[in-house]
Structures are given as C-alpha cells and as structure tokens.
Structure 1
Amino acid sequence: MARQGFQDQLDSLGEDVLYMSELVADRLRMGLSALEQKDHELAMDVIEGDDEINGVYLDLESDCIDLLALQQPVAGDLRFVASSFKIITDLERVGDLATNLGTYTLDAERDMFPEVDIQTIGDTTLAMLDAAMDAYEERDVEACFDIAEWDDELDRMCERASETVVRDLIETELEDGEDVEQMMADVSRLLLTIRDLERVGDHAVNIAARTLYMVENSDELIY
C-alpha cells in the first residue's frame, strides 16, 4: 500500500512538471508576441506572471525534497526525482528569460534591423522546449539526441543574427540629430534578445540531457 502511495506521488510529480512546462512555454510565447507587436499590456502580463511560475517552482522543489528525504528512492526512481528537480530549475530560468522579453518590449521604440528574424528564432526555441518536454513525458531517448543536434542549428541562427546586427551597425550612417544613445540602446536590446533566446535552447538541451540520464543512467549530454 505504501509503495502504491509512493508511485502515485511520482506520477503526480511528473504531471506537475509537465504543467509547469506548459505554463513556461505559454509565457515565452506571450513574450515573443509582445515583442513582435510592441504590446506593452501583454508585456506586463508576462512580467507579472513570473510570480506564478516561481510559486509553482517552489512547490515542486519542496515536493522533490520531500520525496528524496522521506521516501529515499533508489535506482530509476531516484534518477526520476533528481532529474525532475533539475528540469524544473531549467524551466524556472526559461520563465525568467520570457520575463526579459517583456522588459525589452517596454523599452523598444523601433525596429532597427528588420532583416533579423527574431520570431523565427523564438519559434525554434519554443519547438525545442516542447520537444524536450515530450521526450521527458515519453521517456524518448532518441529525441534527446535530436534536441542536442537541433541546438547546433539554433546556435548558428543566433550567430548569424548577431553578426547581422553588428555589421549593419558598422555600416549605418547617422543622420543629423539622430540620438546615438537611443540607437545603441536599441542595438543592445536586440543583441540581448538573441542571447536570451539562445539560452532557452540551452535549457531545452539541459532538459533533454536530464531525461537521458533519467531513462538510461547516461550523462552523455550533460555538460
């Protein structure tokens, strides 16, 4: 009977981790939409919604600690709890990065480099995050390796985008009266956006790595 109760707790933890991932992905999606549409109201929803993500994270952290301390799981169960604990940490950080997008939206006044496709980069990170959580739910080892390879393409996309911003900045001829400080602030904001989206991809890889460890006791993707 006690063992069944423990299994129910493990199942509940897995469901709650998936719920947190849906919440985080929704915030990231909202942040990207706010940035694209210059929607300050939506941006504030993202920023203010970070407290909800933090609350879910703290609740799950407590659940993981209780499972480890009170149930003393071993072997596969131990790896599941430990991996879930690491995964919710990555999800919480993705939530922070989504909040950054909301902040950048509030600061954005213009699009200086329309050729830099932030939305495509953002859609890629969302797809990676969704795939990583699907791998966690399905215990899909092959998908874990696919996500790691996918990250290489995301890194290239982000590198090309950053290079475009720097190149265009060098080639830009300032007009009389143009606000240099504002221009540099816009450039900085765009480079930070690219960096943050690249980090979302890194967190998706971390989730895949912990899932691989959880399923096969392999640290091959952990770095």
Structure 2
Amino acid sequence: MSEVVTDRLRMALEAMAQKDDDAAWEVIDGDDEINQLYLDLEDDCIDLLALQQPVAGDLRLIASSFKIITDLERIGDLAANLAEYTLDADRDMFPEVDVQAIGDRTIEMVTDAMAAYASADVEACYAIAERDDDIDERCRSASQTVIRDLIETEIDAATDDAEIEALMQDVSRLLLTVRDLERVGDHAVNISARTVYMVDNDDELIY
C-alpha cells in the first residue's frame, strides 16, 4: 500500500511540474485502488483482533498498523488533491517557490517511515520526526513568499475582475499545495510515532 501511495504522490508532483492532465487524472482515478487497499487491510486487522485476541506486542502491532494504513490512505487523498490542482492550473505562477523540492522531501519521509516500520527501527523514527521541522520551515517560507508577492502585485483601475480572480485562484492553489505537502510530512511523522509505540510501547511521538 505504501508503495502505491508514494508512487501516486510522485506522479502527482510530476504531473504538476509538467502540467500533464493525463497523469493527473491517473492519480485521481487511482485513488479508488488505494481506498480498496485500505479497506482490505482494515478487514485483516479486524479479523486478527476478533479471531486471535492478540495481547502485548502483537496487539500493538495490529493497532499501530491500523493507524498507519489510515495515514497512508490520507496521503493518497492528498496526492489526489495535488492532481486536481494541476487540472485547475492554466499558467505557471510563483516559480521562486520550489514545490518539487518540498514534495521530494516529503516522499522521502514517507518512504523512510515505512522502512522504519518494516524494520522496527526506532532510532530512524525519531530522525524522521526531526526532519519534519525542515518541511515545516520550507512550507512556512513558501507561504510567506506567496503572500509577499501578492501584496507587492500592482493592481490598478485598469486591472479587470477576471485578472484579479485568476490571481487569487493561483495564490489559493499554491497555498493549498504547500499545506497539503506539509500534511504529508505530518503523516510520515504519525507513521513513525506508531512504529515507536509498536516496538517500545512508548507514546512520546504520538503526543
């Protein structure tokens, strides 16, 4: 499931960079596959709880996995959001905001978080949580750049309503893109937090 999710997130970012509507639609249409994977794994977790009545470490494994698949499903939703923004965009705005760099780092975080889950690597989980500060700072800086450019944009009596509306849509779209990528990073931290709980029965990163 995580491989499908990260692949769709990567595809969404590439579609945005290339303004590739076909790829964007593939991401949007592919969200049903992610949802089905989520439901199948949810059923597996429920069956294990009901039939095996696990305790201690086994119970934490199932509970953590249940939470992690929820985070992955939501990352899939965010990838679909990015694809929808691509369909709505009709021009390249704010080239100084490096959305791709932020996106690449969030994909790395999700990939590394799942690797840490698979190997029960608690140390890696804490390192991933620390990396989220960099994502947050990059997103904050990107948002400030967009707002500053908006403030500095000259709008006078000759500017028609359609131009103003297009500008506001561009600003809104980019701010939503940055917000969604920041949320992907948050989900990577959630995955790491649940892994730490699973391995060490420690909820420090959860809260």
Q: What TM-score range do you get, normalising by the shorter chain?
A: over 0.9
Q: Which of 65, 83, 89 does residue 84 from structure 1 map onto?
A: 65
Aligned-pair CA distance for 1:202: 0.2
Aligned-pair CA distance for 1:177: 4.3
RMSD: 0.9
Q: Which of 21, 28, 32 does residue 9 from structure 2 map onto?
A: 28
Report what 1:146 is aligned to.
127
| 2:50 pairs with 1:69 | yes
Which runs of no fewer than 5 residues in structure 2 stay unpaired? none
Q: Which of 165, 182, 189 does residue 166 from structure 2 map onto?
A: 182
Report what 1:156 is aligned to.
137
Give the 3-state SS of the residue equivalent to 1:115 in structure 2.
Answer: coil
Which runs of no fewer than 5 residues in structure 1 stay unpaired? 1-19
Aligned-pair CA distance for 1:173: 1.3
TM-score (normalizing by structure 2): 0.97
Rounded Cα–Cα distance in structure 2 between residues aligned with 1:177 and 1:145: 51
AA in 2 matched with 1:98: A
Report what 1:57 is aligned to.
38
Rounded Cα–Cα distance in structure 1 between residues aligned with 2:114 and 2:34: 16
| 2:111 pairs with 1:130 | yes
1:165-202 deviation line (CA, Å, top 9, x unaligned): 00011001137445100110010000000000000000
Rounded Cα–Cα distance in structure 2 between residues aligned with 1:202 and 1:53: 19
Give the 3-state SS of the residue equivalent to 2:191 in structure 1.
Answer: helix
Give the 3-state SS of the residue equivalent to 1:222 in structure 2.
Answer: coil
Report what 2:195 is aligned to.
211
Give the 3-state SS of the residue equivalent to 1:114 in structure 2.
Answer: coil
Q: Percent identity?
A: 71
Report what 1:194 is aligned to.
178
Report what 1:39 is aligned to.
20
